């Protein structure tokens, strides 16, 4: 039922840069609503990683960055570390649903 589409998986070697895309539509990202990103480590609750398209909460390393353009958004992880292996979700508000929606999720694997 997700209206935000992400690649199922991305991978990279330690130290590399990986990006995760989040594709929406004119009723969510394209309508100007903010995009947020979450990191979910195995067996734990998701954690807010990026809010308001590109802002990092206190304590989140600056290796994580977010951007938004048109109907899409991206999360970039630079200097990939083993501890970054997790599931990542984007999220935005959707006017058709009158609620917030999550992306399909992306599993990041550190090779």
Partner 1 sequence: QVQLQESGPGLVKPSETLSLTCTVSGGSVSSSSYYWSWIRQPPGKGLEWIAYSFYSGSTNYNPSLKSRVTISVDTSNNQFSLKLSSVTAADTAVYYCARVGYSGYEVDSWGQGTLVTVSS
Q: Interface residues with partner 1 (CB under 8 A)?
A: 1-2, 33-34, 36, 38, 44-48, 51-52, 57, 89, 91-93, 97-105
Residue with Cβ nearer partner 1 (48 or 76): 48
Question: Least separation, in Å, of the C-beta of 27 and partner 1?
Answer: 13
Tokens describing residue 46 = 């998701």
Rounded to a whole number of angstroms, the minimum distance from the CB of residue 15 to partner 1 is: 29
Beta strand residue intervals within 1-111, DSSP E: 9-12, 18-23, 35-40, 47-50, 64-69, 72-77, 86-94, 99-102, 106-110
CA distance 18 to 58: 22
Residue placing its CB nearer to partner 1 in the complex, 52 or 79 = 52
């Amino acid at each position: 039922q997700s209206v935000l589409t992400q690649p199922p998986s991305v991978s990279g070697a330690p130290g590399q840069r990986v990006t995760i895309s989040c594709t929406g539509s004119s009723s969510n990202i394209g309508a100007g609503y903010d995009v947020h990103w979450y990191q979910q480590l195995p067996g734990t609750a998701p954690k807010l990683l990026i809010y308001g398209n590109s802002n990092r909460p206190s304590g989140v390393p600056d290796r994580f960055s977010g951007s938004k353009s048109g109907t899409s958004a991206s999360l970039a992880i630079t200097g990939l570390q083993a501890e970054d292996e997790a599931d990542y979700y984007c999220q935005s508000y959707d006017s058709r649903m009158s609620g917030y929606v999550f992306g399909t999720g992306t599993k990041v694997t550190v090779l």
